[in-house]
A and B are shown apart, each in its own frame.
Chain A
Amino acid sequence: MVDVYHPKTLEEALQFRSSTGAVPFSGGTDIMVRYRTSHGVLPDLPWPIVLLGHLKELQYLRLRKGSLCIGAETTLTDVMDHELTPPLLKQAIGLMAAPALRNLGTLAGNIGNASPAGDAVCALIALDASIELASPRGRRVVSLDLFIVGPGRTILAEDELITEIIVPIGEGHISWYKKVGTRRANALSKLSVSADWAVDDNVLTHVRIALGAVAPVVLRCRDIEDDMTGMKLPEIALQREDLMNRYKCSITPIDDQRSSAAYRKQAASNLVGAVLDEMTGGR
């Protein structure tokens, strides 16, 4: 048996968390599955939990200073269906799980779970998203890319909660998404690729390529992105094989029950090739 806290407000939630060490519980679609036992038996939760999924004050999408701000407890369905949501994020969420699960699951949960196969995380990192963390001590904003540090590991402090996801609106950006799942629907990622870029006068002015499930965390290769930024598109097309290879060498996938390291390496590099083709109008 564990203690379950049901706060009425975010403030109360923060108090519970800081005073009891309760673990945040949003949709529960990760937590309840991980700690499930069997029929008629409670889940084997190792710690007290604080329920957050019902907090209306953390369920919203609104524009603020050129960014889309999403309340951390907004369900995946509500994020996906909203007109302000960038196409890349819509696409990624649209291929997550199935409708029933998307009606419960949240962005906070996908981020807090810190899986390298987190699909919304992969899209959000390509979109340069940051997150707001709140605690009784105050609030801070960190880049999502730096928040997750390993499988299941984040820099979330003992008394903090994720309260908001901040996605800059990239005017005129182009995006590309591909999830290679274990099947076509209701499937976890073997790997995924999210890309977001901008072109001005045939020159690549901005690029983010995030690779999911091919390293301990969702991976961005900043050095390669930096090298590509400012390059003319035909030049990128010429360097296609080379860039694919650099990505291939940067990732460190594993063999697991869903796929093999060899496949992840090859397919990720091929998909980077597909991104470059889309970017440069090649092939």
Chain B
Amino acid sequence: MKERISSPVRRVDAYEKAGGYARYIADIPFDHLLYGKLVRTSIQRGRITGIALPDLPEGYRFISEGDIPPGGVNQINMITSDWPVFTTGEVRFCGQTIGLLVGPDRQVLHELHKAVAVTYDIEEGSSTIEEGLACRGGAFVGEDNIYVEHRLKKGDPDAAFSQADRIIEDVIETGFQEHVYMEPQGITVEYSNGQLVFHASCQCPFYIRKAVAPSVAMNLEDIIVHQVTTGGAFGGKEHFPDIIASALAVAAVAIQQPIQVVFERREDISYTPKRHPSQIIFRTALDRNNRIIAMDVDARINAGAYQSCSAVVLQRTMFSANSVYDLPNVSIRGRAVATNTVPSDAFRGFGAPQGIFAAEMHMSHVARLVGEEESEFKRRCFLKQGGRTVTNGTIHEQVLLEQMWQDISLESGYYEKLKSNPSGSFRGIGVSYYLHGGGFTGNGEQALIDSHVRLKGMKDGRVELLLSTVEMGQGLATTYRKIVASALGIDISRTIFLDPSTNRVPDSGPTVASRSIMVVGRLLQRAALQLKTCWDGTREETVEIGYEHPPWVEWNQETLQGDAYPAYSWGICVTEVEVDRASFEVETKGVWTIHEVGRAIDEQIVHGQVNGGVIQALGYASLEKLELKEGRFYQNTLADYMIPTSLDFPPVYSKLVENPYEYGPFGAKGLGELVFDGAAASFAAAVQHAIGRPVGRIPVTPEYIMELMSDE
């Protein structure tokens, strides 16, 4: 009997991780290991005027810009190269690397670190989007503090606005979010025989190699990055490991001994990137039947003090700014704003959660204002197969949203609950609809990544998977092995997947963008089918294949026009809440979700992602307040930065519908980010219904609800 690909198998890493046998970077011993501690800026903006070091005992070094080897540059080679390895003069944010103290004894390092005295000329800095746009303290990026600006246009919004019967304006805002991966950032570096070897908790081994090369003027081949067991990442280990690795590279070349940097939790919360805060302003034109005829969107994201990947995040925000709706006339302006905060960076959803939250809340505000039931109002605008996206691309697949809604509205009792709990009754139910495009935006998979995977059939009948996308807790080791085993028709126990090293595996790209299964899994499937034709399990045979773009996808990266993504995954989330009349605390009574991800490679892993993603989004929506005070994060411990516990939300109902995608392995599409995208809006909509007042920002804390309730 043939097993369905979706039937769960035991996760290949379950035993070692649940049992505590897995070794993370801080657990792996090295001979003659030195420790590194970053010396950082302590002001938000200004200039360094002096650095006074204590007397360093023998064996201790302070590594800074002057230690960059001949030919090396003081730059980290990310998407742009604006972020220096070591700050010399200009301080753009609190927590920038000045240097690295290195030595054998952490107690001594701790004392030395406390004794470093840095003096500054302090300048006025900016923290918020408004302050950034107003160039508080003077612009520090271009003339206007804008890293990138894009505009999109669909239809003829100007004409439509001139015919509007009514125009509704709205501002929707989202805050910072900290990743809280279970394992903080950590890397160990070794240097010998002219080679740098990194052991890193990371998502993208090849990014690290590329990022550090210019600072130490080394060839890519002489830099080797091993990914080690990684305790969660959520996007936080996409680029930030580059920052640590660059400083470590310079130190390792100078000292020629293994050096380890492992962050402490408070350090990790204080100084590593966060999700981009957003402020999205809508103007929506209605005709006299209250139908939307045009929408104007002005999306601003807080990119922080260096650019990192903000340009790409901004595109996702813009492309998601109409959520699942096909509106006739749309204009979207997007700006990534420079501020003096820790550079914002990748975080599960990569800009989409902000766009979706804003669009969903705005649509529900419009529905309330015109006196229509939200779900009815939204459903009338659903994208359909053949429909047009905001980049004037086409929805190629069948869209099952309507059928999914029939299912989940019944399961959640949406309509009855709506009726029995009128608006303002302190009980409420809310819904959000959402989508996520799988893979890199536009032609990124082709132009930027061009991923390759290799399969090595061995004499003993086993097959090794060689690729650079990583297991970081999300279950990839299991799903990859399952794909290859199924395609070859062998048992999963005959497949091997080891944590990748850049010197052993081809570059299958970074572990990001919901691409690992849809794009890279597909490569594995193709490679396995090819191996099957030429390998009989008794001799060695290697197959390597590369990415092929679906032929019908058209995209222009200059104009951002066409199919921004080849395929989308879809979801609906319904949330029911009760608001306490005295304390304004929100109790979540139920959460119901339904997702269409093509086909699940492993149902248990998919449901795990749904649970984790939805709870993470509910935390973002309600608890995870992260404020800045003089450029520092105010909630910088896990006692103050609140992520949900198992008591904060009820179990999540999770259902899947199938809609196989031709270019995904066994029909699979993207999943990891989709499941984060929608829950925040459904929660906020439920609270809004419960208190009978529009909610315009997250987190929806009891303090914010009190504010809304007192606006009588």
A residues with CB within 8 A of B:
33, 37-42, 178, 180, 182-188, 190, 257-260, 262-263, 266-267, 270-271, 273-274
Contact = CB atoms under 8 A, between A and B. Distances in A.
Contacts of B110: 37-38, 41
A42 B581 CA distance: 46
Contacts of A178: 582-583
Contacts of B710: 266
A257 to B, nearest CB: 5
Contacts of A274: 582
B400 interface: no
Given A183-B623, A185-B647, A267-B584, A41 B706 contact: no
Interface in B690-712: 702-703, 706, 710
Contacts of B648: 183-185
B635 A38 contact: no
Contact of B645 (A37, A38, A185): A185
B634 interface: yes
Contact of A183 (B582, B634, B645, B706): B645
Contacts, number: 71
Contact of A182 (B264, B583, B642): B642
B581 A270 contact: yes
A148 B267 CA distance: 33
B627 interface: yes
B281 interface: no
Q: Would you list the 5 A-B pairs with minimal beta carbon distance, nearest first?
A: A270-B582, A40-B106, A38-B264, A263-B703, A184-B647
Contact of B106 (A38, A183, A185, A266): A38
Given A37-B264, A41-B110, 6 more contacts: A180-B702, A183-B645, A257-B635, A263-B706, A270-B582, A271-B583
Interface of B: 26, 35, 106-107, 109-110, 262, 264, 267, 581-585, 623, 627, 634-635, 639-640, 642, 644-648, 702-703, 706, 710
Contacts of A41: 106-107, 109-110
23 contacts: A33-B639, A37-B264, A40-B35, A40-B107, A41-B106, A41-B107, A178-B583, A180-B583, A182-B640, A182-B642, A183-B623, A184-B645, A184-B647, A185-B645, A186-B645, A188-B639, A188-B640, A257-B635, A259-B703, A262-B706, A263-B706, A266-B706, A270-B581
Specify the main secondary structure of chain A where it touches its partner: loop
B650 to A, nearest CB: 11
Nearest to A41: B110
B582 A271 contact: yes
A161 B648 CA distance: 38
Nearest to A188: B639
A149 B461 CA distance: 75
Interface of B, helix, strand, loop or mixed by DSSP:
loop
A268 B644 CA distance: 24
A267 to B, nearest CB: 5
A257 B582 contact: no
A16 to B, nearest CB: 26
A267 B706 contact: yes
Contact of A257 (B109, B623, B634, B646): B634
A190 B110 CA distance: 33
B645 A267 contact: no
A39 B26 contact: yes
B37 to A, nearest CB: 8
A41 B262 CA distance: 13
Nearest to A180: B583
Contacts of A257: 627, 634-635, 640
B582 A263 contact: no
Contacts of B639: 33, 188
A178 B580 CA distance: 12
B62 to A, nearest CB: 18
Contacts of B582: 178, 267, 270-271, 273-274
Contacts of B585: 180
Nearest to A179: B583
A257 B581 CA distance: 23
A180 B581 CA distance: 13
Contacts of B703: 259-260, 262-263
Contact of B107 (A42, A188, A258, A273): A42
- Most chain B CB inside 10 Å of its own CB: which residue of A33, A178, A186, A263: A263
A39 B106 contact: yes
Nearest to A186: B645
B95 to A, nearest CB: 15
B137 to A, nearest CB: 25
A214 to B, nearest CB: 13
B264 A39 contact: yes
A41 B264 CA distance: 11
Contact of A267 (B109, B627, B634, B702): B702
A180 B705 CA distance: 14
A24 B623 CA distance: 35
